[in-house]
Amino acid sequence: MPIARRTALALHALLLASGARAQAFPNRPVRLIVPYTPGGVSDITARLMAEPLAAAWGQAVPVENRAGADGVIGTEALARSAPDGHTLALVSVGHPVNAAYYKLPYDTMRDFSFVTQTTSTPLVLCAAKGFGPNTPAELVAHAKKNPGVTFAGTGGVVRLAPVLFGQLTGAELTYVPYRGSTAAHPDLMAGRVDIMFDTVPAALSHIQSGALKALATTGAKRAPQLPDVPTIGEAFLPGFEASTWGMVIAPAGLPAPVLAKLNADCIAALRRPDVIGRHRALGAEIVTSTPEAMREFCQAELTKWGEAARKAGIVPQ
C-alpha cells in the first residue's frame, strides 16, 4: 500500500477514535475541584454549574473543596489528574496571581487546559466617609502631598491592585496586611487605614450604609450594584482594570473534542437565567469565553500582575 494512503488511513482512524472518545465522554462522574473553602463565589459558581452539567451528561458532578495555600493544593491535584475531562477545577484570578507569591509545584500555563471563563467581579476603591479625597485623582494628589497613604490588603489581586495603581500614578501607598475583608473593614471605617481595593460584594453593605464611601470601581464598565460610581478607567486612568474572576480548567493534554464539549456544556450551564440572576445578586457577572481566549486572558493576567509584583519587590516564596 502506498505510504501516502497508509498515512491517510491512519489519520482517519485517529480522528474516528478521537471522535468516539468525545462521544463517550463522560462515562463516569466528573469531579469538579474548588481549591478554596465553601461559600465563596468560586464555590457557589461550581455548585450552580454542577446540577445542569449532571443533567446534561447523565453523570454525577461532585464538587470537592480542596482548600489550602491560596488554592495551590487543589490546583496541584488537578494538574496531577488524568487528562480525560473527568477531573476539572474552578479557579479564580488567584491562579495567575499565585505565581507572583509562590514557587509553584506546577506551571500556571503549561500544565493546564483552559475551558472557559465563568465570572467577573470588579473591585471598589473605598475609604472611610471622613477620608478627604473623593475621587481617584484627588487620592493621587493627596498621596503625593502626604506620602505613606495606607491601604488594606488581603493578598492576591486585592493587594496587587493598589500596588499597580500606585506604580501607574506615582502615588506612594503603604501596604497594611489583613487576613480578610472582615478583619480590615473595622480599621478602614475607623480611619486607621486609609483606603482599600475590595471586592464589590464584600464592601457593598458598608457603602450602602454610609460607613464607607466608594471613590471608583475597577472593572471595564460600571458595577451594576454601584451605577453612580465611575470606573477608574473612565474617571482618571484609561485602561486600568483589576477584577477578580473565575474559570474552569482541566489538566494539560485534554483531547480537542473533549475540550470543545466541556466548553459548550459549561457555557450552557452558566447562561441559565437562574445562574445569571444568582451571580448578579452576589455582585458578579457571568462571562464566558473560548478556550483560546481564556488562555490568552490568563497569560495577560499572569504578565500584568507578575510585573507589578516584581516592581514592588515581591519575591515568590
Q: Give the pLDDT band (50/70/90) at residue 19.
A: very low
**Domain 12-121+245-311 identical in fold to domain 125-235:** yes
Average pLDDT, the chain: 92
Q: Give the pLDDT band (50/70/90) at residue 12.
A: low
Residue 273 has pLDDT above 90, yes or no: yes
Amino acid 283: pLDDT: 86
Domain 125-235: which topology? Answer: D-Maltodextrin-Binding Protein; domain 2 (3.40.190)
Nearest one of 212, 147, 135, 142 to 173, comparing CA atoms: 147
Task: Note the pLDDT tens digit of each residue in 83-137.
Answer: 999 999 999 999 999 999 999 999 999 999 999 999 999 999 999 999 999 999 9
Residue 17 has pLDDT above 60, yes or no: no
Question: What secondary structure letter does DSSP report for 254?
Answer: -
Task: Report residue 302 CA to chain centroid gap.
Answer: 11
More confident residue, 19 or 281: 281
Q: Output the furthest CA–CA distance in the chain (Å, rounded).
A: 85
Q: Where are the domains of the chain?
A: 12-121+245-311, 125-235
Beta-strand ranges (E) seen in 55-145 are: 63-65, 87-92, 112-128
Residue 257 has pLDDT above 90, yes or no: yes
The residue to which cell 488567584 is assigned: 94
**C-alpha to C-alpha distance for 27 and 139, rounded to whole angstroms:** 56
Burial of 169 from C-beta contacts in 10 A (0-12 / 13-18 / 19+): buried
Q: Give the pLDDT band (50/70/90) at residue 3.
A: low
Residue 181 has pLDDT above 50, yes or no: yes
Q: CATH number for 12-121+245-311: choose from 3.90.1150.10, 3.40.50.10260, 3.40.50.620, 3.40.190.150.
A: 3.40.190.150
How large is the C-alpha radius of gyration of the chain? 22
Q: What is the mean pLDDT of residues 284-304?
A: 97
Amino acid 5: pLDDT: 55
Would the CA dihedral through 60, 65, 70, 75 be positive or negative?
negative
Give exposure, 130-146, as e/b (b: 16+ Cβ within 10 Å): ebebeebbebbeebeee
Residue 155 has pLDDT above 90, yes or no: no
Amino acid 295: pLDDT: 98
Task: Note the pLDDT tens digit of each residue in 23-64.
Answer: 589 999 999 999 999 988 999 999 999 999 999 999 999 999
Q: Are 200 and 223 contacting, i.e. CB atoms less than 8 angstroms apart?
A: yes
Amino acid 1: pLDDT: 53
Amino acid 48: pLDDT: 97
Q: Are 154 and 179 contacting, i.e. CB atoms less than 8 angstroms apart?
A: yes
Amino acid 53: pLDDT: 98
Q: Give the pLDDT band (50/70/90) at residue 279.
A: very high
User: What angle, rounded to 10 degrees, do the helices at 273-282 and 256-270 form?
Assistant: 70
